[in-house]
């Protein structure tokens, strides 16, 4: 909306300047050139300007999306009213900031965008910088997919650093978000992977395979179940630990108090 308000008068100035130049032969570059340059800037920077404006005038999250959060996001359910409003606003802004690309013939379900945005809002809820801007693109496949990095593995999710891309199977993403008791949340997992990679200066703990049985005790998901669900040969254990830390904080703190404190320090570092 803001870009439209800015563009209309500038376009009128440019059109009038060109018309007057054509009709009278006068040199109107003094105001014609600035108008054209500003229009070019608005065209190039349109998404950033739109986001800047929306951050200060955040649209209200649609009622169906709010209902979706109320039904499936246990984190959202645990927040007080003021925190829930902040969470909803962040979901709107995250959804707006990311470039979602569907690899299916049909339109992407809106629930996919909401589930992704809610997962990122949960991961970065204690942070001032909550967008994870290093990853701008979210590619959604309808089902598990191969990729250049894993050409032989039809996997459910992947984080590709070089292009700043998250890749997901919509089937596993939505199932994990809407039925978290039965399925591991791949969206939160990949977001954790990306978050670790863009914050290497934080004191992330070293973890070993000895941790798997304790994580299984916390969530009920075995190592084999998680690895088969994602279906990549290099499932990141620290990201698995972060998912458990976020989804099962009480059980995590009781069973793994030292690791809980280390992860808490890492997340509080950027608060």
Interval 116-129: pLDDT, tens: 999 999 999 989 88
R_g over Cα of the chain: 23
Asked whether residue 23 carries a pLDDT value surpassing 70, the answer given is no
Q: How many helices (H) and strands (E) does the chain have?
A: 14, 4
Residue 11 has pLDDT above 80, yes or no: no
Instruction: Report the C-alpha gap between 203 and 265 in whole angstroms.
Output: 8
Confidence of residue 107 (pLDDT cuts 50, 70, 90): confident
Q: Output the average pLDDT for the chain.
A: 87
pLDDT at 154 over 80: yes
Percentage of the chain with pLDDT > 90?
Answer: 73
Residue 83 banded pLDDT, cuts 50, 70, 90 = very high
Average pLDDT over residues 17-27: 51
Between residues 12 and 62, the one the model is more confident about: 62
Answer whether residue 252 shows pLDDT above 60: yes
Q: Which residue spans of the chain are classified as CATH 3.40.390?
A: 58-269
219 pLDDT higher than 60: yes
pLDDT of residue 214: 98
Q: What phi and psi values does residue 150 have, to the nearest 5 degrees? A: -135, 70
Could you tell me which residue, 3 or 118, shows the higher pLDDT?
Answer: 118
DSSP summary character for residue 134:
T
58-269 CATH, one of 3.40.390, 3.30.70, 1.20.1280, 3.30.450: 3.40.390
- Joined together, the tokens standing for residue 50 give 């739109």
| Tokens coding 30 | 């003094």
> Quick one: pLDDT at residue 22?
46
Task: To the nearest 10°, report the CA torsion of 44, 48, 50, 53.
Answer: -140
More confident residue, 99 or 37: 99
The pLDDT of residue 126: 86
Predicted pLDDT of residue 236: 98
149 vs 14, which has greater pLDDT?
Answer: 149
Which residue carries 């997901």 as its tokens?
A: 168
Alpha carbon 223 to its chain centroid, in Å, reads 26
């Amino acid at each position: 909306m803001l870009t439209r308000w800015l563009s209309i008068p500038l376009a009128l100035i440019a059109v009038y300047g060109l018309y007057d130049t054509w009709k009278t032969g006068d040199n109107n570059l003094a105001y014609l050139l600035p108008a054209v340059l500003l229009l070019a800037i608005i065209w190039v920077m349109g998404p950033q300007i739109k986001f800047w404006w929306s951050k200060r005038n955040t649209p209200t999250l649609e009622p169906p999306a709010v209902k979706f959060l109320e039904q499936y996001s246990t984190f959202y359910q645990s927040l007080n009213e003021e925190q829930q409003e902040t969470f909803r606003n962040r979901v709107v802004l995250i959804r707006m900031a990311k470039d979602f690309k569907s690899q299916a013939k049909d339109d992407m379900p809106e629930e996919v965008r909401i589930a992704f945005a809610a997962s990122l809002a949960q991961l970065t809820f204690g942070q001032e910088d909550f967008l994870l801007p290093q990853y701008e693109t979210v590619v959604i496949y309808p089902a598990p997919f191969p990729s250049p990095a894993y050409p032989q593995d039809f996997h459910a999710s992947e984080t590709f650093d070089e292009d700043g891309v998250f890749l997901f199977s919509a089937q596993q993403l939505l199932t994990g978000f809407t039925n978290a008791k039965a399925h591991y949340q791949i969206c939160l997992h990949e977001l954790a992977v990306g978050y670790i990679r863009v914050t290497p200066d934080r004191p992330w703990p070293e973890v070993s395979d000895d941790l798997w049985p304790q994580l299984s005790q916390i969530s009920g998901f075995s190592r084999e179940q998680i690895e088969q669900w994602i279906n990549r040969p290099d499932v990141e254990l620290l990201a698995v630990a972060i998912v458990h830390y976020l989804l099962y904080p009480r059980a995590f703190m009781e069973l793994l108090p030292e690791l809980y404190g280390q992860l808490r320090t890492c997340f509080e570092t950027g608060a």
